[in-house]
Amino acid sequence: MNRFEKAKKIYADLGVDVEEALEALKNTCIAVHCWQGDDVVGFDSRESLSGGIQTTGNYPGRATTPEELMADYDKAFSLIPGKKKLNLHASYAIFEEGEKVGRDRLEPRHFQKWVEFAKERKVGIDFNPTFFSHPMVKNNLTLSSPDDTVRRYWIDHGKACLKIAEYFADETGVPCVMNIWIPDGYKDVPADRLGPRKRFRESLDEILATPYDPKKVYVTLESKVFGIGLESYTVGSAEFCLSYSDHKKITPLMDNGHYHPTEAVSDKISSLLLFNEKIALHVTRAVRWDSDHVVILDDETREIAKEIVRNRALDRVFIATDYFDASINRIFAWVTGVRSVQKALLAALLQPNERLAALQEEGNFTEVMYWFEELKLAPLGDIWNEFLRREGLEENYYNAIRKYEKEVLEKRK
């Protein structure tokens, strides 16, 4: 018996069907965020990153053109097993030489190259309007601005993006998740908390009045607790976004960097699943604040994965990664983060979840803890390596990335 077969036997003795777990993992799609490749700069305004989010580090080799970003995406995709999707921001529109188009006037054709790229790789595309890093963000406000011109600009951006999202779905044949996140907020104690939220609500209503097919485009709304320079008040708070999503029957999105430090998104998933057909996640790693560190196989990532798997919600949760580390090799960051999400999902799939739930129902908390601790040392790695092997991948992805760094990244100006 090789290591995989031995491991499979150990799991079988626990009542876990390894083949079923591998099959489920293979079919679980992860939307891979394009913005890890270029530190969230994009191609349109190339303004420095704003909106209360921050990349730190200046590791060499950042992608600065669509060609470079696509090549890096390809490298990362070639090292990530399983089903994937592109996740683009509107700021990654690709214009013709000399063309200049405002975000309020974006059209599907500005994303035609991305569609070709996705089709060639047989993957779907998710999309995000970009409400930051742009001169039309005034006083850190977009859709909640008291300035009609500013608000109009961003409402038109949202409307334009809905059309582009539908175009992605039509072209790729895969539904597009379009996520709305605005940075709007105040550094200091506001004099009016209601006004901005009322305007945000009205702006969203206007965007969503654009006709679109909800079977093709899933609109999600992402909440946040604070941003850098926006510490005291965030317009799109958790309560606002959950209430709005419920009211309009769109999909709530939770980013696990967007809550108070002792709150856990893993604990929120079951509640949202009870009241929503679909939910969406941005999987990230917050170190002391919403720092967007690369996802690793840590406790909270594992707990999030458990909540998706044991609630049989793999087909109800849109899973996307969202982090940006500029201090290490960016392709390594991409691959490591996505693989970590997949490892967490595999670990969850390899637990005797029904048995553990039954023990809890019986009130046998002693045995529940016994298994939780024992399962931590079960041979997950041998099953993971078999998953990689079946996907045509090696365990060691560091060498391939190092080679690409030497041959491609180090040659970039």
The residues carrying an active-site annotation are 181, 222, 224, 255, 258, 282, 290, 292, 322
Element (H, E) at 378: none
Out of ligand RNT, Zn ion, none, which partner does residue 224 contact, by CB within 5 to 8 A per kind? ligand RNT
Maximum distance among all Cα pairs of the chain, rounded to whole angstroms = 70
Out of ligand RNT, Zn ion, none, which partner does residue 221 contact, by CB within 5 to 8 A per kind? none
User: According to CB under 6 A, which one of 103, 159, 224, 343 is a site residue for ligand RNT?
Assistant: 224
The neighbour count for residue 96, using CB atoms within 10 Å, is 9
Instruction: Find the shortest distance in angstroms from Cβ 214 to Zn ion.
Output: 22
Measured CA angle at 198 (ends 197, 199), to 5 deg: 90
Out of ligand RNT, Zn ion, none, which partner does residue 72 contact, by CB within 5 to 8 A per kind? none
Size of the site for ligand RNT (CB under 6 A): 11
User: According to CB under 6 A, which one of 184, 222, 382, 386 is a site residue for ligand RNT?
Assistant: 222
Q: Between residues 103 and 282, which has the closer beta carbon with respect to ligand RNT?
A: 282
Question: Does residue 197 belong to the site contacting Zn ion (CB under 5 A)?
Answer: no
Q: Taking CB under 5 A as the criterion, which residues in 247-276 touch Zn ion?
A: 255
Q: Between residues 221 and 383, which has the closer beta carbon with respect to ligand RNT?
A: 221
DSSP alpha helix (H) spans, 83-181: 112-120, 148-172
Query: What is the C-alpha to C-alpha distance for residues 30 and 44, in angstroms, rounded to an integer?
Result: 26
Q: Which stretch binds Zn ion (CB under 5 A): 67-75, 185-193, 202-210, 314-322?
A: 314-322
The neighbour count for residue 367, using CB atoms within 10 Å, is 13
User: According to CB under 6 A, which one of 181, 259, 334, 387 is a site residue for ligand RNT?
Assistant: 181
232 CB-near residues (< 8 Å, 6+ apart): 185, 186, 187, 188, 189, 190, 226
Element (H, E) at 7: helix 3-13
Q: Between residues 40 and 76, which has the closer beta carbon with respect to ligand RNT?
A: 40
CB 152 within 8 A of CB 203: no
Query: What is the C-alpha to C-alpha distance for residues 34 and 51, in angstroms, rounded to an integer?
Result: 18
Structure tokens at 211: 């006709």
Out of Zn ion, ligand RNT, none, which partner does residue 212 contact, by CB within 5 to 8 A per kind? none
Instruction: Find the shortest distance in angstroms from Cβ 412 to ligand RNT.
Output: 23
- Per-residue CA distances from 124 to 222, 353, 396 (Å): 21, 31, 27
Instruction: Tell me the per-residue interface mask from 273 to 302 with ligand RNT, x by CB under 6 A, - otherwise.
Output: ---------x-------x------------
Reduced to 3 states, what is the DSSP secondary structure of residue 111?
A: helix
Query: What is the C-alpha to C-alpha distance for residues 175 and 404, in angstroms, rounded to an integer?
Result: 32
Size of the site for Zn ion (CB under 5 A): 3
What sign results for the dihedral spanned by CA atoms 181, 186, 187, 189? negative
Q: Between residues 91 and 351, which has the closer beta carbon with respect to ligand RNT?
A: 91
User: According to CB under 6 A, which one of 38, 166, 255, 386 is a site residue for ligand RNT?
Assistant: 255
Q: Between residues 230 and 409, which has the closer beta carbon with respect to ligand RNT?
A: 230
User: According to CB under 5 A, which one of 72, 166, 171, 322 is a site residue for Zn ion?
Assistant: 322
User: According to CB under 6 A, which one of 16, 40, 219, 409 is a site residue for ligand RNT?
Assistant: 40
DSSP string, 183-213: --EESS--S-SHHHHHHHHHHHHHHHTS---
User: According to CB under 6 A, which one of 36, 128, 251, 342 is a site residue for ligand RNT?
Assistant: 128
Q: Between residues 39 and 255, which has the closer beta carbon with respect to Zn ion?
A: 255
CB 115 within 8 A of CB 171: yes
CB 342 within 8 A of CB 295: no
Question: Does residue 8 belong to the site contacting ligand RNT (CB under 6 A)?
Answer: no
Q: Between residues 283 and 344, which has the closer beta carbon with respect to ligand RNT?
A: 283
Instruction: Find the shortest distance in angstroms from Cβ 40 to ligand RNT.
Output: 5
User: According to CB under 5 A, which one of 8, 89, 282, 285 is a site residue for Zn ion?
Assistant: 282
- Please, what is the angle between helix 330-349 and helix 66-79, to 10°? 30
Residues making contact with ligand RNT (CB under 6 A): 35, 40, 53, 128, 181, 222, 224, 255, 282, 290, 322
